[in-house]
């Protein structure tokens, strides 16, 4: 419930600080990058760290964006979101491994074809899984946060164990396709090719999401639904259908994120979704629940900070995310760009 507007409007131009305030979260990323440059002191290593931080941030964004939209739209908290990440990674990597003749070929085109096949397979599988997950697990517990948390947690456990049943308990090691191995050098800085690809994919997905959300009718309904679902439903839109669509799209994005994450680390384990979940939650919280932009900025902050700290003071890297979350929540208790009102 918001308060009524003031009845004595003032004509005074607002101060610079006031006009900059809405952009403050956006400014945090360059500010952090500059702070990183001061802390690291060596421009070449700073460039390497920044690119890998951005790459990591993009992957976290891919995994987290679906979760934040689902929460904003239907007020469903999905603790099982990490399951899509693991399943996506396992399916994608299995496809890549079976297409060994394509990935080992020195031709860029064949490599990309293999990766494309892997990504599509992973996204299709996680989309189907998302649909089933919504049908079987989430549907009976709408409107009850406690049951949602418990039940989706159960879903995560089952998915993790099924992965172990199907793929075995050992972690799977592999190498990236030929074309994505190695690094480009700019002066003293070495930048792995794969990280550049990741940044590119992340930016493309973000741009596509923004386009869909800002410029299309579906996006309009989704955004309106996040703001006030009841009103949208009352206007005659079938919000449930939109919601299922968002859930499936979010699951597919998490699957894509899982493949990218697996290729980044060159090892996949059944617990990787569980571990990713923690980063995803931090990002979703500091971004502000329900906000895609906040999620994007939050993911970049987490990725950059973790890489800088790991370089400057490795022991602190583990707690840097928590420290960032505490700092952001002290500044804005609802996250950087809150969309959903407190309930």
Residue nearer to other proteins on the CB measure, 109 or 154: 154
Q: Strands, DSSP E only, in the chain?
A: 172-173, 183-186, 189-192, 267-268
**For other proteins, what does the binding mask look like between residues 128 and 167, x meaning CB under 8 A?**
---------x--xx---xxx-xxx-xxxxxx-xxx-xx--
x/- contact string, 215-254, with other proteins (CB under 8 A)? ----------------------------------------
Burial of 166 (0-12, 13-18, 19+ CB in 10 A): exposed
Q: What is the DSSP letter of 138?
A: I
Question: From residue 313 to residue 342, what is the string marking binding to other proteins with x (rule CB under 8 A)?
Answer: --x--xx-xx--xx--x---xx-------x
**CA 268 to CA 90: how far, in whole Å?**
7
First to last CA, the chain: 10
Asked if residues 301 and 329 have their Cβ atoms less than 8 Å apart, the reply is no
**Of 307 and 321, which has the nearer Cβ to other proteins?**
321
Least separation in angstroms between CB 292 and other proteins: 18
C-beta neighbour count of 324 within 10 angstroms: 22
Q: Which helix (H) or strand (E) holds 186?
A: strand 183-186
Buried b (16+ CB within 10 A) or exposed e, 290-323: bbbbbbbbbbbbbbbbbbbbbbeeeeebeebbee
Dihedral class, residue 41 (left if φ above 0, else alpha if ψ from -120 to 50, else beta): left
Q: Which stretch binds other proteins (CB under 8 A): 17-25, 212-220, 227-235, 271-279?
A: 271-279
Shortest spacing between CB 342 and other proteins, in angstroms: 6
For other proteins, how many residues bind (rule: CB under 8 A)? 45
Three-class secondary structure of residue 7 per DSSP: coil
Nearer to other proteins by Cβ, of 151 and 197: the residue is 151
Using CB under 8 A as the binding rule, whether residue 284 contacts other proteins is answered as yes
Is residue 34 at the binding interface for other proteins, with CB under 8 A as the rule? no
For other proteins, the closer of residues 197 and 289 by Cβ is 289
Kindly indicate which of the ranges 27-35, 104-112, 253-261, 284-292 contains the residues binding other proteins, using the contact rule CB under 8 A: 284-292
Q: How far apart are CA 252 and CA 127, in angstroms?
A: 5
Q: Identify which of residues 235 and 322 has a Cβ nearer to other proteins in the complex.
A: 322
| Helix, strand, coil percent values for the chain (each to nearest 5) | 75, 5, 20
Of 162-191, binders to other proteins (CB under 8 A) are 162, 164-165, 169
Is residue 277 near other proteins by the rule CB under 8 A? Answer: yes
Contact residues for other proteins (CB under 8 A)? 71, 77, 79, 137, 140-141, 145-147, 149-151, 153-158, 160-162, 164-165, 169, 274-275, 277-278, 281-282, 284-285, 289, 315, 318-319, 321-322, 325-326, 329, 333-334, 342-343
């Amino acid at each position: 419930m918001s308060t009524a507007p003031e009845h004595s409007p003032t004509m005074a131009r607002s101060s610079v600080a006031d006009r900059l305030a809405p952009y403050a979260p956006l400014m945090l990323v360059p500010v952090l990058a500059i702070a990183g440059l001061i802390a690291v002191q060596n421009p070449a290593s700073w460039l390497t760290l920044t690119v890998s931080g951005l790459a990591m941030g993009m992957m976290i964004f891919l995994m987290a964006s679906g979760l934040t939209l689902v929460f904003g739209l239907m007020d469903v908290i999905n603790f099982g979101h990490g399951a899509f990440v693991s399943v996506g990674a396992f399916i994608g990597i299995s496809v890549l491994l079976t297409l060994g003749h394509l990935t080992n070929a020195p031709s860029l085109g064949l490599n990309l074809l293999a990766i494309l096949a892997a990504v599509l397979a992973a996204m299709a599988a996680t989309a189907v899984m998302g649909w089933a997950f919504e049908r079987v697990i989430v549907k009976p517990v709408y409107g009850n946060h406690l049951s949602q948390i418990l039940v989706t947690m159960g879903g995560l456990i089952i998915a993790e164990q099924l992965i172990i049943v199907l793929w075995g308990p050992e972690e799977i090691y592999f190498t990236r396709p030929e074309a994505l191995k190695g690094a480009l050098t700019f002066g003293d800085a070495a930048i792995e090719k794969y990280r550049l690809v990741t940044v590119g994919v992340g930016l493309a997905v973000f741009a596509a999401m923004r386009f869909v959300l800002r410029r299309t009718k579906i996006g309009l309904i989704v955004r309106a639904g996040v703001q006030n679902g009841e009103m949208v439903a009352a206007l005659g839109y079938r919000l449930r259908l939109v919601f299922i669509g968002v859930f499936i799209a979010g699951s597919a994005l998490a699957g894509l994120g899982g493949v990218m994450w697996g290729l980044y680390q060159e090892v996949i384990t059944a617990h990787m979704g569980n571990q990713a979940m923690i980063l995803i939650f931090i990002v979703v919280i500091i971004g502000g629940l329900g906000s895609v932009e906040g999620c994007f900025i939050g993911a970049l902050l987490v990725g950059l900070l973790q890489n800088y700290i790991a370089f400057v003071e490795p022991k602190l890297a583990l707690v840097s995310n928590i420290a960032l979350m505490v700092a952001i929540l002290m500044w804005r208790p609802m996250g950087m760009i809150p969309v959903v009102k407190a309930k």
